[in-house]
Amino acid sequence: MPNRPVFAGLIALVAVARYTTTLPNTVLFWAAYVLTRPLGATLGDTLTKAPAEGGLGLGRIGSSLVIAVAMIVLIAVTSLRKRASIRPSFAPSDGFPR
């Protein structure tokens, strides 16, 4: 199994390809999905392993909570950034606040 920096590099390559190539989004999605499966397993192993084995020793419930919180935060930040980017920067002309 390749090491973590190789996976991170491959995922970054897929992200760059999203904006620089004409590959269909479906192909890029599946490439990222296949690449992140081992990365997620490695993260789960790192969170659940005992500190003596190089992990954080959080157990299954603790690691699930950490991953869930990280996902919620990332989704919220992405959603807020997208909402801010589509909000008009000018005031409406009818005089009513929105």
Gap between the Cα atoms of 50 and 53, Å rounded? 5
Among candidate residues 76, 47, 78, the one with its CA nearest the CA of residue 64: 47
pTM above 0.95, yes or no: no
* 59: containing domain: 4-86
Residue 8 lies in a domain: yes
Residue 92 lies in a domain: no
Residue 91 lies in a domain: no
Gap between the Cα atoms of 92 and 2, Å rounded? 55
Residue 23 lies in a domain: yes
Residue 93 lies in a domain: no
Over the stretch 29-86, which tens digit does the pLDDT of each residue have? 877 787 778 778 888 899 999 999 999 999 989 988 898 898 888 888 888 887 777 7
Residue 98 lies in a domain: no
Over the stretch 36-45, which tens digit does the pLDDT of each residue have? 787 788 888 9
